[in-house]
Amino acid sequence: MPARRELHTGRYNFLHRCWGPLEPFDNSAVAIMRDNDVYTHLVSDHMHYWEDGGANYHTQYNSWECVRGQEGDLWKPKMQNRPSVKELWGRGGSRREHELINREYMQEPEEFPLAKCFAKGMEFLKTNHEADRWFLHLECFDPHEPFYAHQSYKEKYIDSYSAADLDWPPYAKDHERK
């Protein structure tokens, strides 16, 4: 994950390298803080940290928390009455299917991963605000595709659009404009 590697090492590589972990020769600023008695904590709903290729960033911290359910996170099991993804806008396949299953567990705004991420960040601050020498890294996946929002937020921006949800744009040539 190039942007994370830049954050940890201070080395520019975002435009020159694909997703990847910290390398054995990298010096992580977070690990340096940790090793010098600065308590480091990560809160993230960015599921790619825990996938192959994104591994080992979280191990640089004293502690870390992962909020589940973002994007196509393989979070909640559902074997019957699975959603159909054939006619949905954007990405298909099992990741998109899991994304729709995850949404079934996000009925209220506070159930969304972003809200849970901030709640965990606030919990850290309430617990540790009187302590010295700490670093909180709060990394949130939103705003990021899929651009999924609770209905109460969508209702604030009424328009006449009535076709498929446009929460995951296709990564392809623009065929919608003329």
HSE, CB side, 13 Å, CA atoms: give it for residue 48.
14
Give 91-94's long-range contacts (Cβ < 8 A, gap of 24+). Answer: 91/168, 91/170
- Who contacts 60 (Cβ-Cβ below 8 Å, separation ≥6)? 8, 22, 28, 30, 31, 34, 40
For 41, which DSSP code?
Answer: E
Domain boundaries defined on the chain: 2-148
pLDDT digits (tens, 9 = 90+) for 72-115: 888 999 988 888 765 454 555 677 888 889 999 999 999 999 99
Nearest to 42 by CA among 28, 58, 27: 58
Query: Residues 66, 70, 76, 80: what is their CA dihedral angle, to the nearest 10 degrees?
Result: -170
Q: Are 46 and 65 in contact (CB under 8 A)?
A: no
How far apart, in whole angstroms, are the C-alpha atoms of residue 49 and residue 104?
23
Q: Are 43 and 139 in contact (CB under 8 A)?
A: yes
What pLDDT tens digit does each residue of the chain (178 aa) get?
557 888 899 888 777 777 778 888 999 999 999 999 999 999 999 888 887 777 788 999 999 999 999 988 889 999 888 887 654 545 556 778 888 899 999 999 999 999 999 999 999 999 999 999 999 999 998 888 788 888 898 889 888 877 776 777 767 777 766 6
The distance of Cα 159 from the centroid of its chain, to the nearest Å, equals 28
Q: Could you tell me the two tokens for 90?
A: 């954007």
pTM over 0.75: yes
Given its phi and psi angles, is residue 90 left (phi above 0), alpha (psi -120 to 50 degrees) or beta? left
